[in-house]
Amino acid sequence: MRTRRRRLGLAVVMAVSAVLGALVPVGNAAAESNGGVRVMPLGDSITEGTQVPGGYRIGLWQRMAAGGYRVDFVGSQYNGPANLGDHDHEGHPGWRIDQIDANITGWLGATTPHTVLLHIGTNDVLQNYNVTGAPGRLSTLIDHITAAAPGAEVFVATIIPLANAGQEAAARNFNAAIPGIVQGKVNAGKHVHLVDMHSALTAADLIDGIHPTAAGYDKMAATWYNALLSVAGSIGTAGGTGGTTTTLVGAGSGRCLDVPGSSTANGVQPIIWDCSGGANQRWTVNGATLQALGKCLDAPLSAAAGAKVQLWDCHGGTNQRWNLNANGTISSVSSGLCLDVSGAGTANNTPVILWTCTAAANQRWSRV
């Protein structure tokens, strides 16, 4: 940091401008997906990676990959370098808690994350936006996250330090309320976890008084990673996708949902076949996806009743997300149609299609 007052003032103005508008272009892009556990990095420019595109997501991705964890970052935003294996995120430069809250339900519905990494509140402090009310706004945001994604693991970080003494004092006051907020959610049975991010960095780790240096972002990455490791299943298991693997047995036929010939070609249509326990009958339920042989069960775009269901490369789209309903049916998030054994057939090699949900025996499946 510069020592002369005039230069310091300019640096602070530039830093605030960076928070209010990213220095590196970001935007929407087609989702990247490796079929892994879906993790949403959520917040402001510190999540986006202002000053160091990709920010903490670079080091976090690299640690998870090195540890053998298969993770799919999700979000409507996209940026970062090539050594960041998945560029999706939900970091919005300049945004306060209330602005994130106004959009969170839609984002969660579009991406169905299993884990959420929340670092938010810095702009409430920088903009001096009713800072005393910020803890209450954070509590409401967490409630909306857990309501929209009740099974998700939600990691809530204290905000990192600020170089300006007055702003740092306000940040510390805000941070002091977060442990109690998180504990209240835990007491209510919510999957919410506290991450002490403030103590992981100092003002020396900031490039502009607000945003971390590359080394500072890497300290954030290490802190997130250790927090994730402390909660079983939050990023799956090393060497796997983290989902639950099962067979799907048709109630009407007693036969298993089967990938014919163990084919991994895009577009192959599942059938029913005598249950064998083979890999082509093992389905991994990972978040809202159903995966077999490294592919995702997929409903063709704009599918109508009678359309085939198929395997396809995992890409994170809504047409690869499924609801496992209490009545045993499995319905497509995108079309609302159910997995159906065509013509209520019971013979080996009967194809499985999409059909209007009736909860008949040929649409009910047991997970064994």
Taking only the tens place, the pLDDT of each residue in 183-211 is 999 999 999 999 999 999 999 999 999 99
Asked whether the predicted pLDDT for residue 20 surpasses 60, the reply is no
Share of the chain above pLDDT 70, in %: 88
Asked whether the predicted pLDDT for residue 236 surpasses 80, the reply is yes
CATH number, domain 5-229:
3.40.50.1110
Question: Quick one: pLDDT at residue 142?
Answer: 98
Asked whether the predicted pLDDT for residue 162 surpasses 80, the reply is yes
What's the per-residue H, E or C state across the chain? CCCCHHHHHHHHHHHHHHHHCCCCCCECCCCCCCCCEEEEEEECHHHHCCCCCCCHHHHHHHHHHHCCECEEECCCEECCCCCCCCCEEEECCCCCHHHHHHHHHHHHHHHCCCEEEEECCHHHHHCCCCHHHHHHHHHHHHHHHHHHCCCCEEEEECCCCCCCHHHHHHHHHHHHHHHHHHHHHHHCCCCEEEECCHHHCCHHHECCCCCECHHHHHHHHHHHHHHHHCCCEECECCCECCCEEECEEECCCCCEEECHHHCCCCCCCCEEECCCCCHHHCEEEECCEEEECCEEEECCCCCCCCCECEEECCCCCHHHCEEECCCCCEEECCCCCEEEEHHHCCCCCCEEEEECCCCCHHHCEEEC
Report, as an integer, the average pLDDT of 287-314: 89
Asked whether the predicted pLDDT for residue 10 surpasses 70, the reply is no
The pLDDT-based confidence of 242 (bands split at 50, 70, 90) is: low
Question: Quick one: pLDDT at residue 218?
Answer: 95
Question: Quick one: pLDDT at residue 317?
Answer: 76
Question: Quick one: pLDDT at residue 246?
Answer: 85
Q: Which residues have C-beta within 8 Å of that of residue 296, sequence separation ≥ 6?
A: 35, 289, 290, 311, 312, 313, 314, 315, 320
Give pTM, 2 decimals.
0.63
Taking only the tens place, the pLDDT of each residue in 87-138 is 999 999 999 999 999 999 999 999 999 999 999 999 999 999 999 999 999 9
Q: Which of 282, 332, 280 is nearest to 308 (CA)?
A: 332
The pLDDT-based confidence of 316 (bands split at 50, 70, 90) is: low
Residue range 244-367 in CATH 1.25.40.10: no
Residue limits of CATH 3.40.50.1110 in the chain: 5-229
Asked if residues 280 and 293 have their Cβ atoms less than 8 Å apart, the reply is: yes
Residue limits of CATH 2.80.10.50 in the chain: 244-367
Asked whether the predicted pLDDT for residue 160 surpasses 70, the reply is yes
The residue that leads in pLDDT, 10 or 85, is: 85
